[in-house]
Amino acid sequence: MSDVAVRAENLSKLYRIGERDRYFTLRDTIMNFVRRPLARFSDNGNGVSSSSLAESTIWALKDVSFEVKRGEVVGIIGRNGAGKSTLLKVVSRILRPTAGQVWVRGSVAPLIELGAGFHPELTGRENVYLNGAMLGFSQAEMQARFEGIVEFAELWDFIDAPLRTYSSGMMTRLGFAVASDVDPDILIIDEVLSVGDEAFQQKCLARMRSFRAKETTILFVSHGLDAVERLCDRAIWIDQGGVRHSGGVRETAEAYLETV
């Protein structure tokens, strides 16, 4: 276990959809009770009958198990909606699994959603410090890193503007610059690099290769199979919330492409 950076065991995540997530006020509850006094014997407490429970939930992950060794770069591939982003959020502790467990050894820097952890009314400068604090760094440590972060993001002209004025590409550049400058033990990257321009994508890939050289553990979700093949030691194919295939990048990509 000492050489394992991430270990997932029977991870499952259930989402509630449709009427199941509807918010009911106290007045709604009382009125439903008065109008349908017998409904309390057949519903789930939110005005949804037990017969519709299965239709209002979906398993985004179902019994997912895998291990990632320290210093390993693992690509996660699959269709949109297969459960890839949910898996990364569970590993990053952003979401709690419905069932199963995940163990993570070391500090984690997740770059999962465009603008995640950013506040639109704060400036780029303030968001750099905010994200650094969320990753466990002191103000003094972030001051030492600040210039390098902004230089990498190429945002000196906009760093004191509110984030709401940034384009999606600018937010991606800033988010990646912060997440990748703090030297995490584990770097988790979702499909956000596709938003940046070609030059910045190449810059990000170069930095990821430098992390690989330093034996940083990386989980990399991408639809760009070429990038996965260039960067990753192996790949995991997620399909309908489960692991469909795990192994070498080439064989996993070929198995995936056969179904597309």
Separation between Cα atoms, residue 171 and residue 115, nearest integer Å: 6
- Write down the pLDDT at residue 41: 39
- Write down the pLDDT at residue 64: 96
- Write down the pLDDT at residue 206: 86
* pLDDT greater at residue 30 or residue 200: 200
Return the domain boundaries, the chain: 71-257
Separation between Cα atoms, residue 34 and residue 39, nearest integer Å: 10
- Write down the pLDDT at residue 111: 77
Q: Residue 84 in contact with residue 164, Cβ under 8 Å?
A: no
Q: Residue 77 in contact with residue 238, Cβ under 8 Å?
A: yes
- Write down the pLDDT at residue 32: 56
Structure tokens at 69: 């060794």
Separation between Cα atoms, residue 186 and residue 84, nearest integer Å: 17
pLDDT (average), residues 73-98: 93
Phi, psi dihedral angles at 46 (to 5 degrees): -115, 15
Q: If pLDDT is split at 50, 70 and 90, which confidence band does 198 have?
A: confident
The answer to whether residue 46 scores a pLDDT higher than 50 is no
* pLDDT greater at residue 152 or residue 137: 152
pLDDT digits (tens, 9 = 90+) for 160-197: 999 999 988 888 888 888 878 877 899 898 876 665 67
Show Cβ contacts of residue 255 under 8 Å, excluding neighbours closer than 6 positions.
237, 244, 245
pTM for this predicted structure: 0.74
pLDDT (average), residues 74-100: 93
What's the burial of 87, exposed, middle or buried (CB within 10 Å: 0-12/13-18/19+)? buried
pLDDT digits (tens, 9 = 90+) for 1-40: 569 999 999 999 999 876 444 444 445 544 555 555 444 4
- Write down the pLDDT at residue 21: 41
Per-residue DSSP letters for 135-199?
TT--HHHHHHHHHHHHHHHT-TTTTTSBGGGS-HHHHHHHHHHHHHHS--SEEEE-TTGGGS-HH
- Write down the pLDDT at residue 179: 79
Fold held by 71-257? Rossmann fold (3.40.50)
Separation between Cα atoms, residue 172 and residue 167, nearest integer Å: 9
- Write down the pLDDT at residue 19: 45
CB atoms near residue 31 (< 10 Å): 12
11-20, 55-64, 208-217, 240-249: segment of lowest average pLDDT:
11-20
Highest mean pLDDT among 35-44, 150-159, 200-209: 150-159
CB atoms near residue 236 (< 10 Å): 23
The answer to whether residue 68 scores a pLDDT higher than 70 is yes
